[in-house]
Structure 1
Amino acid sequence: MKRYSLATLLIIAGLLLGSISTTGMGAPEAISDPTQLTSPDSPGSIPRTAGSGPPRKAGATQYGENVELMGHIGGYINTVAVQGHYAYIGEGPQLTILDISNPASPTVVGKTALLPANVQDIAVAGDYAYVTAGADGGLRVVDISNPANPTEVGHYDTPGSAVGVAVAGHYAYVADGNDGGLRIVDVSDPTNPVEVGSYDTPGSARGVATAGNYAYMADGSSGLRVLDVGNPTAPTEVGSYDTPGDARSVAMVGNYAYIADGDSGGLRIVDVSNPTSPTEVGFCYTMGYAFSVAVAGNYAYMANYRAGLQVVDVSDPANPTGVGSYGTPGDVWDVAAGGGYAYVADAYYGLWVMDVSDPTAPAEAGFYDTPGNAVSVAVAGSYAYVTAGRGGGLRVVDV
């Protein structure tokens, strides 16, 4: 096996991390099988140290010749979906399943093997989770019938950068970024997803929701696009609304589309009762950068990046009103809501379970941490152990 000097290893780590801290680098704790890594700070794992680093939102890390990724712990969390007693989170390049039956103590029950790139979005339907993983990962189909052993069973490499996903019936609707628009994928055979139709939206397809025969696209600078998908092989745009901001996410409830409008800093409520003529009826400024929205009952829950979680009363769509907020320590990318709780993907700082039974005073009910906060490299035998910044986790590289 080819060996590398310490200088070469530092260069490799620099490419992975953007910056290296070599202070306090001692011999790493022995790991007999680097592909079977334990949870953070548990016996047999390498403890975390202080540091910082930017999120790695899309794209698999590429290593040099004869360098292979063997294992991984953790990663920043930027998406969450909830079904029943389980939360499904994107933890770096893995889908992690948490038992949330006790919201005060979310517990890991299973994780997938490493995916080709960081998880961007998750939709859960029946026994399957549909996961988007950017330009390098496309759409991944994961069998979750046994939560302790989630297993990828199929995938489809989209032409763009798979960011958002929604599932209805036998189809997965993928928001495929700048170059891909909407991709409609037949998942009736989960082991063999097949694209049956597509539509090139004018903007950057970031989020998608479906209702009836329509798909509603959060299309970045091109706002909301309404597509007739009654014939999945020939989707057609029938209406649009150009929001002032950067439409990042959309949720559908009844005749209304709820849009997280990015840099315009808020929630936009659009009446789509006439799909050919979507009309904004309400707006609420929520501070921060509006990344994602979830609606439950009379409230919309906004993932507002550095402004944390914002709660908006939408009982009157023409007059949405901010009623509560909670400032998490990290950057809130995504939110799911239901049953009196909001589940907040807080990037560097894990998953926060918020009690929103009183929407005016959201309170932390539970927390799931991921490893991070370290930027260093250590070498033992044939392996380099690289900690990849806040939320980047531990990466084990065979050198």
Structure 2
Amino acid sequence: MRSSVVGSIVVIFLLCGSAFSQSNGVTLIGHLDQPHGISPQGTKYSSCWGWVAPDGKEYALIAVYTGTSIIDLNGDSLREVAFIPGPTSSYIWREMKTYKHYAYIVSEGGSGVQIVDLSGLPDTAILVKEFIFTDTLTGRDIARSHTVTLADGYLYLNGSANWSPSGVVIFSLRNDPTNPAYVGEYGPTYIHDSYVRNDTLYAAAIFSSGGLYIANVRDKANPVELGRISYAGSGTHNAWASVDGKYAFTTDEIGSTAHNIKVWALDSLPNSFQVAEYSADPTAITHNVHGRGNYLYVAHYKAGMRVVDVLDPPIPAEVGFYDTYEPFPDPVFGGYAGCWGVYPYFPSGKWIGSDMQTGLYVCTFSGLVPRRRPQLLEPPDSAVNTLSKFRWSSAADQAEDPHYYDLHIVGNGVDTVFTTRDTSIVPPQFIPIDAGGEFSWFVIVRDEFTEVSSIDTFHFTVAPNAVGEENRMPNEYSLYQNYPNPFNSTTVISFQLPVESWVTMKVYNVIGNEVQTLLNNKRLQPGTHHVTFDASMVSSGIYFYRLTSPKFTSTKKLVLIR
């Protein structure tokens, strides 16, 4: 049994060689127990999350009783490199997520959302502000939130007190990550936690057998309910979705139902049905579940950190675990103890867990293959007039570890981004590169939660006679044919604006139903712009894309093939 660690006593180690502790595919490589105070219930830690710097260095964020501790995972030993004090409350609850180089931290303590700049790590992390949103018409405010969700540049606050019915309140971070802008809300009932992928919100309603609400949030000012999974005795704590979106995974922390993971088929929304369930130990509560590729990573309270293979979701199979929990002499609130949270998204292949009594655990898992930083291949550095193709090395297998590449081309006032799942792009002929310019290019590999840059940044030069008039500042509106066309999965749509414009771009099927919104009334500067249409979840066929601005409307056809 581990002894109690209090005050300034620190237990810290990184294991190597034969000292590694392994449990069925999961290997413990580090542990840090460095508390900042103890709650009235005797707990020291709650949630955890991660952040990856553009250079690939990895950091853990772990909630402690009096704030948030930031841990450097890159050296020979784990070490706290920053601490952000935060409000305390009667309980230990504190949750955080990251976006770009910022962390967003919420608690029941009443200071709103703490926005923390992580760009100075490992030297420093700075509390930028404490954001409290107030509705001047009603007097409501969001000073307390139970959990926080981040997806695609939008902040979702869940279970916010004094914001009846404490559903999900949505803010945009896209224009200014330090000043969240209110855009809408979804509040069928109290929402304990949520998960968002693309335009779909999965909202866990923990109280009164609320179950799981599923909503379309493409228009975040007007979410549309797609269905609800309601089951007797539910206490739905959090939820995730399979890679293809055909299944949902829920955890139940309270209620009379089994406190396990339930698997739900979503093929026939608004109807759904349970197809499977998983628990490592029926006496241990499942708390949080997160997915990466075909695996679920589970914070299973007294059963520790668990990994479940869901390649075939109706047949979940445990493939690894590390049990962080041992009986502990401190008083424990209501029998809840052990692993609170997990974070499996580090490109290195590490994943972390936070134990309420014993702190941070750093592990590897045999099925979690490290993601490599891309190497730039073509055109070579210092190339001249070579723009036929941009090519780079693969970061990981797309089937095992889904991700995107963003190709950035910068120089002479140009800042253009192309997005693809492939490792090469043939740019359109009208790429906006002025004659005689010097440019640089690099690649960002990203997924839902991390962004890491390529190892190098290359440069190239375009001679005056290599670029024609079509690449200069446009003097009229134009919508170009997508490239490539026909296409498989992703294609680039480009257009030109002669003046600053508010632009909307949508994709429709042949009967006029909207398939996807690519730009939603976005203000853009004059010049040439590129938008990627990701059709990985769309059926083969003929579609139409339409560009609309106050002074221009144009529609073109595209063909998706598999």
Identify whether the pair has TM-score above 0.5, normalized to the shorter chain.
yes
| Partner Cα distance (2:42, 2:203) in 1 | 25
Q: Would the alpha carbon gap of residues 159 and 53 (structure 1) be closer, same or farther in structure 2, given more than 3 Å must change?
A: closer
Structure 1 counterpart of 2:236, from 243, 247, 253:
247
Tell me whether 208-217 or 349-358 shows the greater mean CA deviation.
349-358
**Map of 2:313 onto structure 1:** 317
Which of 36, 56, 62 aligns to 1:89? It is 62
Q: Indicate which of 297, 304, 310 corresponds to 2:300.
A: 304
Match of 1:108 in 2: 80
Which of 206, 209, 218 aligns to 1:230? It is: 218
Aligned runs of 1:163-182 on 2, under 5 Å? 163-176=146-159, 179-182=165-168
**Partner secondary structure for residue 339 of structure 2:** coil
Match of 2:287 in 1: 291
Code of the aligned partner of 2:51 = Q
> What is the 5 A alignment of 1:8-19?
none
- The aligned residue for residue 346 of structure 1 is 355
Q: Distance in 2 between matches of 1:189 and 1:240?
A: 34
Q: How many correspondences in the alignment?
A: 294
**CA deviations over 1:268-308 (Å, ceiling 9, x no partner):** 22334555334433211232111101223332121111222
Equivalent residue, structure 1, for 2:248: 257
After the TM superposition, which residues 1-399 of structure 1 pair with which residues of structure 2 at under 5 Å, given as runs?
A: 40-41=8-9, 54-55=41-42, 76-84=44-52, 85-102=58-75, 105-115=77-87, 120-134=94-108, 136-147=110-121, 148-157=124-133, 158-159=141-142, 161-176=144-159, 179-187=165-173, 188-202=175-189, 204-220=190-206, 221-244=209-232, 245-254=234-243, 255=245, 256-263=247-254, 264-273=258-267, 275-287=269-281, 288-328=284-324, 329=326, 331-338=338-345, 339-357=348-366
Q: 1:153·1:190 contact (CA, 8 Å) conserved in 2?
A: no
CA distance in 1, matches of 2:235, 2:47: 18
Deviations 1:236-290 (A, max 9, x none): 3221112453111122342132222224221122334555334433211232111
1:161–1:180 contact (8 Å) kept in structure 2: no
Alignment partner, residue 492 of structure 2? none
Query: What SS does the aligned partner of 2:264 have?
Result: strand
Deviation above 6 Å: which 4+ runs of structure 1?
none
Verify the 8 A CA contact 1:210 1:252 in the aligned structure 2. Answer: no
In structure 2, C-alpha distance between the alignment counterparts of 1:340 and 1:151, rounded to whole Å: 29
- Give, in angstroms, the shift of residue 183 of structure 1: 0.8
Q: CA deviation at 1:159?
A: 4.2
Q: Cα deviations across residues 299-322 of structure 1 (Å, max 9, x unaligned)?
A: 212111122222222121011123
Amino acid at match of 1:226: I
Question: 2:136 maps to what in 1?
Answer: none
Partners of 2:160 and 2:264 in 1: how far apart? 22
Structure 1 stretches lacking a partner, 5+ long: 1-38, 57-75, 360-399
* 3-state secondary structure, aligned to 2:125: coil
**Residues 361-389 of structure 1: per-residue CA shift (max 9 Å, x gap):** xxxxxxxxxxxxxxxxxxxxxxxxxxxxx
Q: Return the alpha-carbon distance in structure 1 between the equivalents of residues 236 and 42 of structure 2.
A: 21
Q: Amino acid of the residue matched to residue 142 of structure 1?
A: V
Q: Matched residues in 1 for 2:351 and 2:219: separation?
A: 35
SS where residue 289 of structure 1 aligns?
coil
For structure 2, which runs of at least 5 residues remain unmatched after alignment? 1-6, 11-33, 53-57, 134-140, 327-336, 369-562
* Structure that is richer in strand per residue: 2
CA–CA separation in structure 1 for the residues paired with 2:80 and 2:105 = 18
CA contact (8 A) 1:259 1:269 kept: yes
| Partners of 1:154 and 1:52 in 2: CA distance | 22
- Change in Cα spacing, 1:101 to 1:320, as seen in structure 2 (3 Å) is same
Change (3 A) 1:154 1:52: closer
Cα separation, 2, equivalents of 1:123 and 1:235: 22
1:156 shift after superposition = 2.5
- Whole-angstrom distance in 2 between the partners of 1:347 and 1:320: 27
Residues 86-135 of structure 1 show CA distances to partners (whole Å, capped at 9, x for unaligned) of: 11111223222111124x73221112233465652211111111112126
Letter in 2 for 1:82: G
Does structure 2 retain, via aligned residues, the 8 Å contact 1:175–1:205?
Answer: yes
Q: Give the partner amino acid of 1:79.
A: S
The alpha carbon displacement at 1:83 in A equals 2.7
Give 3-state SS (helix, strand or coil) of 1:137's partner. coil
- Whole-angstrom distance in 1 between the partners of 2:338 and 2:77: 22
Question: Conserved in 2, the CA contact under 8 Å of 1:171 and 1:184?
Answer: yes
Task: Name 1:381's counterpart in structure 2.
Answer: none
| TM-score normalized with structure 1 length | 0.66
Paired letter, 1:318: P
Aligned equivalents of 2:268, 2:63: Cα separation in 1 = 35
Q: SS of the counterpart of 1:316?
A: coil
1:207–1:218 Cα contact (<8 Å) kept: yes
Shift, 1:357, TM fit:
2.2
Residues 156-204 of structure 1, C-alpha deviations (whole Å, 9 max, x = no match):
35548512222123320111157411111233333332333122233x4
Question: Cα–Cα, structure 1 residues 137 and 52, in superposed 2: closer, same or farther, change >3 Å?
Answer: closer
Distance in 2 (alpha carbons) for counterparts of 1:274 and 1:335 = 31
Please tell me whether the aligned partners of residues 99 and 153 of structure 2 are also in contact (alpha carbons under 8 angstroms).
no
Classify 1:196/1:298 alpha carbon distance in 2 versus 1 (closer, same or farther; 3 Å): closer
1:318-350 CA-partner distances (Å, limit 9, x unpaired):
111233333223521111114443311101211
Contact 2:87 2:109 in 1 (8 A): no
The residue number in structure 2 matching 1:15 is: none
Q: 1:119 to 1:155 in 2, by over 3 A?
A: farther
Shift of 1:226: 0.8
State the superposition RMSD in angstroms: 2.9
Deviates more, 1:112-121 or 1:282-291: 112-121
